[in-house]
Structures are given as C-alpha cells and as structure tokens.
Structure 1
Amino acid sequence: MTDNAIRLERTFPHPKEAVWAALTTPELLARWWAAGDIAPVVGHRFTMDMGGWGQQPCEVLTVEAGTSISFTFAEGTLDTTITWTVKTVDAGTTLTFEHAGFNLDSPMGRQAIEGMGNGWPGLLARVDGVLVNAG
C-alpha cells in the first residue's frame, strides 16, 4: 500500500486469455471474488454482491481488450477505482492490480484501505485455483 492505493502484482502459470477471463467473466469472477455482472465494455454499470458488505455499484471506465480494465468500485460510498492489467511473461501471465482513490481523511476510507489491503492478497491468490479448476 502506498498513499491512498493498494498495488499488487501476481504471476500465474496460465495464458493471458485465461487470466483475463477470470477477471471479466461473471461466473469466474464470482468463484474467486464476488458475484457481479461485469463486462469489459466502457460505460457498463454493474453491481458487486459483497455479502455482508452489501451491494456495491460499479461502472467500467476503461478497457484495453484482453489486456486491461478499470472500473469504479462502491460508487457513492468509497468511490474508488480498481484496475487490472494482464501481460504475458515467460512464466505465464502477470496480473497487475491497483485499488486506488481511498479517502484517507475519512474513517471509512482509512478502514477500507486497511481491510482491503489485508484482503486483496488472499483474493488474488484464489484466481489460480479458479484457472486450475477451469481446465
């Protein structure tokens, strides 16, 4: 974590297309993170079902097909942005993750970055399990 963002990088022994699918296909996303009708289409609005944390409205901001997607997360409350970028490397695919825009001047923003900073590493580790089981 730096400033008001969480940044992580993970490499998976899977093709870039498979990792991209795990990030942008609702059925696969629900298996490692949360249910939500995500689509890699700029302007697409969807809701992530975060269980006890409630329904979180999101909107896709940018897409570079097969390579990168960014979307608002918890619009109206946290108002943060999540960006996923995938890149082919010798070992498979590197996923670069950034969750940015936390308002550190508010108690909710400080609590969110701390909690999510602790939670995201474990969540991203679950991507590999989804891809192994998808084969």
Structure 2
Amino acid sequence: MSTSDIRTVLVEREIAHPPEKLWRALTRPHLIAEWLMANDFLPDVGHRFQLRGEWGGVLDCEVLEVEPGETLSYTWNHASADAAFNLESVVTFTLTPVGKGTLLRMEQTGFRPEQKQAFGGARMGWQQFFGKLEQLLERLD
C-alpha cells in the first residue's frame, strides 16, 4: 500500500474567539472532556494519554508536537480484536488568527482504503466535536 492510498479527514472552521482561548480548550484536560472525550492529556511532547469515549472505546495517544497557540499534534490509535478495524492515525490542530477570530484546521490522517466506516465516522464525528467545542467556547471566560 502506498502513502497515496492513505486517506485524511480535514475540517476547517472559522471560530469567533482568539487563538489563546481556543488553545486552552484544546489542551486543558477538563475542557477537552467537555467537547471531545474524557482524558489524561498533558501538552508535553512524548506524553502518552488515553481518550475514553462514551461508547466505551479507548484511544491510545501520544503527543507529537506542541507549538503553543499554533499547532497541536498527537497520535489517535484504536486497537480492535478485528485487525481491519485497527486505526493508527495522527490528529493535527492548526490555529491561524483571522479577522476577529481563529481559523481552526483539524487534519486526521492514516485511514486505510478499506476503513470506509472509520473514515465516514471521523468525518461526521469531528463536525459534532467542533459543534460542542464552539458551545464550550461561548461559556468560557
């Protein structure tokens, strides 16, 4: 399989809040739990953590890159008894100041061609997560 076969979910959304506020929501465990999943995240390169979904699933993650206020990247891996459902991917958030807010770009790469269900689920899931993130940002000081 070549790298050109790997699929990527890309979501971009302009958010009417400054990058610093968005960065807090992306990197503080209690805030991540409100819009994404329960976790033991720390914004330190090499830190291994888990995201625990309400459905009972667990994602094993490792922080790859931290550029405060700009870029956050970590692995997003899900092991399954059925190897076809194993997912090894990388999620990268990029924050770019625009006008009166921030352009938030999320890229999740690593979906194999046969992982159509996981790919479709991620495309839908990230839209829902971003909706929750925007609601959280409205409540944050």
Same fold by TM (over 0.5)? Answer: yes
Correspondent of 1:68 among 66, 71, 92: 71
Q: Does 1:45 align with 2:51?
A: no
In the alignment, does 2:7 pair up with 1:7?
no
Q: Secondary structure at the match of 2:116?
A: helix
Q: Distance in 2 between matches of 1:49 and 1:78?
A: 15
CA distance in structure 2 between the partners assigned to 1:83 and 1:25 by the alignment: 16
Deviations 1:22-76 (A, max 9, x none): 1111111111110112222110100000122511110011111221011100255
- Give CA deviations for 1:88-109 in whole Å, capped at 9, x if unaligned: 111311101101111223xxx2
Q: Which amino acid aligns with 1:94?
A: L
TM-score by length of 2: 0.86
Q: Are the aligned partners of 1:26 and 1:38 in contact in 2 as well (CA < 8 Å)?
A: yes
Asked if 2 retains the 8 angstrom alpha-carbon contact of 1:6 and 1:99, the reply is yes
Q: Does the alignment pair 1:111 with 2:140?
A: no
Question: For 2:94, which of 85, 88, 99 is the aligned residue?
Answer: 85
Tell me the CA shift for residue 4 of structure 1.
0.5
Confirm or deny that 1:101 pairs with 2:101: no
TM (normalized to structure 1)? 0.89
3-state SS, counterpart of residue 79 of structure 1: strand
Partner Cα distance (2:101, 2:69) in 1: 15
Report how many residues are paired.
131
Runs of 4+ in structure 1 off by over 3 angstroms are none
In structure 2, runs of 5+ residues without a counterpart are: 1-5, 80-85
Distance 1:30 1:52 in 2: 14
Q: CA RMSD in A?
A: 1.6
Report if the CA contact (8 A) 2:27-2:41 is conserved: yes
Q: Which runs of 5+ in 1 are unaligned?
A: none
Q: CA deviation at 1:6?
A: 0.5
